[in-house]
Amino acid sequence: MLSVGIVEDIIIFLLSLITLIYSGLLVVKSLVKLSYKMHVKEYILSFILLGLSTSIPELFVGITSALQKKPLLSLGNIIGASIMDVTFVSAIGAIIARRIPLKNKMVKSTSIYMVGIVSLMVILALIGNQLSRIDGVILIAVFFFYMSKLYKQKTETKPLGKKTEKKVLEEDHEGDHRKLIVFYKKIRDEVWFNFILFIIGISVVFLSAKLVTNSAVGIANDFSLPVLLVGMIIVSVGTTLPELVLEARISLAKRWNMSFGDLMGSVVVNSSLILGIVSLISPIMIDSILFIFGAMFLIVSTAILAIMMNTKKEITWKDGLILLLVYFIFLIVQLNLRFISSI
């Protein structure tokens, strides 16, 4: 029979996690619409904007857990979420689409950067068994280096959105300026509306992340579970749902230029920027077989996806099944390690 305190922790965790998921999706949706109105290029939207926005739940869980001196929750969340991104979420996208052509060279090159950045994070963590503030500065610097390099790369992409101002002006050959005024007013109103939605979404994400952190720590204490494991297995499932929903929509819409870009961007953001910020706030002490296995598995799973992307012309549903199997192996082994380490 579960005590009232345990039931209360579970209910608060589930409700706050659901709120975190929906507010995270609201932030992503408002940012995507803003980018459409501002005619952001597709590769920038996918690799940078969506990679950053879908990592907002991980960011706020990281900040709140670090402020409460529980940075291991964030570390576990980021490892679990990143593994889920490159295996489970990638698999679902491939299975839905049946086949995803890999024509964009940036996707292939970014997959290699992703493996390198993840490996750097793991190496820094293993040196001295901690992610120190100096390590945090290094990770943040690597993130901005990656962003600048990514932004400078040129690719054949077209702007997103409907009619641009130039097209409206070309169609306005009869001098009907009223259409142009209405067009600009509509764009302005929609930009402000989505900006307000973005602010509201961010505020709710912050509050729900705080509740998720508190209740997750409570559950870990209630069931005598390592905080790292709770973040890696439980919290990560919730914080990864925005990427899952987005990747499913991208696959259904057959936007091949955007496929995998948001996922790899999210893994890079998690492993560099977010962990860098968390370790700056509260250095992360590491002394657990759960971390070693999770970290090694993260490198292996990102490497598997990178190899697929650089040796194949397309990712098929069969590749998706392989990635799905990899994720379930991770879950099984990690849970078994929990029981072995507790003996």
pLDDT at 217 over 90: no
Select the highest-mean-pLDDT range: 28-37, 160-169, 225-234, 273-282: 273-282
The per-residue pLDDT for 148 is: 82
**What rounded mean pLDDT belongs to the chain?**
79
Map residue 195 onto helix, strand or coil. helix
* pLDDT single digits (tens) 37-61: 655 555 555 566 667 777 878 888 8
pLDDT for the residue 128: 86
Q: Which of 63-67, 116-120, 187-191, 336-340 has the highest mean pLDDT?
A: 116-120
Render pLDDT for 240-293 as a digit per residue (tens, 0 to 9). Answer: 877 787 778 777 877 766 667 778 888 999 999 999 999 999 999 987 788 889
Q: State which amino acid sits at residue 76.
A: G
Tokens of 100: 């995803």
Whether the pTM exceeds 0.85: the reply is no
257: its two tokens: 């230029």
Coil, strand or helix: which one is 130?
strand
What would the 3-class secondary structure string for 145-188 be?
Answer: HHHHHHHHCCCCCCECCCCCHHHHHHHCCCCCHHHHHHHHHHHH
Q: Residue 158's pLDDT is what? A: 46
Query: 165 pLDDT exceeds 80?
Result: no
pLDDT of residue 168: 43
Residue 275 has what pLDDT? 95
Greater confidence, 107 or 326?
Answer: 326
Q: Rounded mean pLDDT of 126-153? A: 88
Query: Given this model, what pLDDT does residue 203 score?
Result: 76
Structure-model confidence comparison of residues 96 and 50, the more confident one: 96
8 Å CB contact between 66 and 278: yes
The pLDDT assigned to 38 comes to 58
